Structures are given as structure tokens and as C-alpha cells.
Amino acid sequence: QLVPALKENAGDSFYMFGADYVWPQKMFEAAETIVTGLGGKSAGKEFTPWGVKDFAPVVRRVKDSGAKCLLFALPGADGITFIRQAEDLGLLKDVTVGFLGFAETYLGAFGEGKGQNMWVTVPFAASMTDPGPAEFVAKIRKAAGDGVPISHYAFTHYNSLNAVKAALEKSGKMDSEGLVDGLTELNVKTPTGDILIGKDHHVTMNMFLAKTEGAGLAVVKPLGAIAPAPGCA
């Protein structure tokens, strides 16, 4: 859903840049198929090793390609470094970023007012006002204080712990086999709705299209329950 949203809101030409390992490689393979199917075009694709400090050459290549969208899959400190440099060099005025693997904890590292209008898909955003997410956020604020960013990582870890508890109770066995058996076809209630753990132990859950706005994420629209594609790892 991220690629169609970028095409609709930013343009039909995509540059893909990410870390040189299997996850970005597979994600970009899938993205290229989607882009082509939507009548869009790939303006370029490249991968980088970890630890690069100067991304100016990459920024120039992206800018020179004429791409309107940058599909980005470089997590962690390297990704933060790239976005900072891309913003300083003016790239983010020309392209809209679709950030794979984004977390709200990144925003503070970009600097105040930086890293805006980057599009993401997430299972949760702290800005959500529905009763379930709002109550979840309130509980964390009460325990940890108002200044702590609440990302989808906190949300999914919370769900994982509840799933472990439910799986062990379901199987009646307090061991690894009991956990594996109990997780199979388990339905778990979460603040954003039920999740279903399939026979392959992959999870169907509600997802949301969002974009960076201010110090957090603003939900653009709910995407409903998304099932993992066959072979997803």
C-alpha cells in the first residue's frame, strides 16, 4: 500500500536505496513489481554497506535521476545520517521518502522540524485517538513520563508478550514446545484490534498508512488487516 500512495501523492518515478543485505533486496524486488504494475518507472536502485559517513554522492545520484519518490530501506544510525545529509543538501524538497522500517524514535535524531512528510506503513502510531491506542499510550505515559517516544516497537513487543502468555495458557505446557504449539492459529486482542497468528507463525494484523508530521506520525488512513505474503520471512 505504500508504493501506490507515493505514486498517487508524489509521482510515478522511484529511486530505491537501502542497506546491502537480504531484507532491502527482497523488499525492492517486490516494490519494482508493484511500481511496474502501476505504470510507474524505476529511476535507479542501489545498496550501501554499513558504516558510510558521507552520502553526498548518493544524494546527487538520486537528485540527478529526476525521481519523485525515494523508497528507503537503511535502518538505524546509518539511515539517520543519510536523512540528515539529504535534508541539508536539499533532496527532501524534491523527493518524497517512503521509509521502510521507520520508527517514531528516529524523529528526534533528525532535529527539530526535520524529517517531515516521510511516508510509512505501521501497525500503530502514538497519535491515534481511538480508545484502544489512546489507552495504551496513556498507560505508558503514566509509567515512563511524557517525554518518552512511543513507537510501534513498544506496541509490537507488548503484543508479543501477551501472545506468549496466551499461547502458554492455551497449550498448558510451560516449555518451548508448548509455546510453539500454543501460538499456532492463536487470536490475540491488541489495542488496534485482533491479531491472528497462522500455522506458519506469521501474523495477520491491522496496518496503517502514515506520514511524519511534527514530532510524530499522522495516520493518513487505516489499511485494514494485512496478511503476510506466502514465503515472507
Q: Does residue 196 sit in the same domain as residue 177?
A: yes
Distance CA 25, CA 230 (A): 17
Res 111: pLDDT = 82
Q: Does residue 135 sit in the same domain as residue 45?
A: no
Instruction: Check pLDDT > 60 for residue 233.
Output: no
pLDDT tens per residue, range 84-138? 999 999 999 999 999 999 988 888 888 888 999 999 999 999 999 999 999 999 9
- What is the percent of the chain with per-residue pLDDT over 90, rounded to a whole number? 89
Confidence of residue 231 (pLDDT cuts 50, 70, 90): low
Q: Does residue 109 sit in the same domain as residue 154?
A: no
- Domain-embedded: residue 217: yes
- Domain-embedded: residue 38: yes
Distance CA 72, CA 59 (A): 12
Nearest to 207 by CA among 187, 191, 221: 221
Res 103: pLDDT = 86
Instruction: Check pLDDT > 60 for residue 215.
Output: yes
Which residues are CB-neighbours of 58 under 8 A, at least 6 positions away?
Answer: 17, 46, 48, 82
> In this structure, what is the dihedral angle of CA atoms 84, 86, 90, 92, given to the nearest 10 degrees?
-100
Q: Does residue 156 sit in the same domain as residue 96?
A: no
Q: Does residue 179 sit in the same domain as residue 212?
A: no
Q: Does residue 174 sit in the same domain as residue 211?
A: no
Nearest to 4 by CA among 36, 48, 26, 44: 36
Which residues are CB-neighbours of 198 under 8 A, at least 6 positions away?
Answer: 184, 185, 204, 227, 228
Domain range spanning residue 183? 131-204
Q: Does residue 101 sit in the same domain as residue 215?
A: yes
Distance CA 117, CA 137 (A): 23
Q: What is the CATH number of the domain that holds 13?
A: 3.40.50.2300
- Domain-embedded: residue 233: no
Q: Does residue 85 sit in the same domain as residue 54?
A: yes
Grid cell, residue 184, equals 499456532
Decide: 186 and 201 in contact? Cβ < 8 Å: no
Decide: 212 and 109 in contact? Cβ < 8 Å: no
- Domain-embedded: residue 231: no
Domain count, the chain: 2
Res 104: pLDDT = 87
Q: Does residue 47 sit in the same domain as residue 140?
A: no
Q: Does residue 191 sit in the same domain as residue 212?
A: no
Which residues are CB-neighbours of 146 under 8 A, at least 6 positions away?
Answer: none
Q: Does residue 115 sit in the same domain as residue 6?
A: yes
Instruction: Check pLDDT > 70 for residue 232.
Output: no
Res 44: pLDDT = 98
Q: Does residue 23 sit in the same domain as residue 112?
A: yes
Whether pTM exceeds 0.85: yes
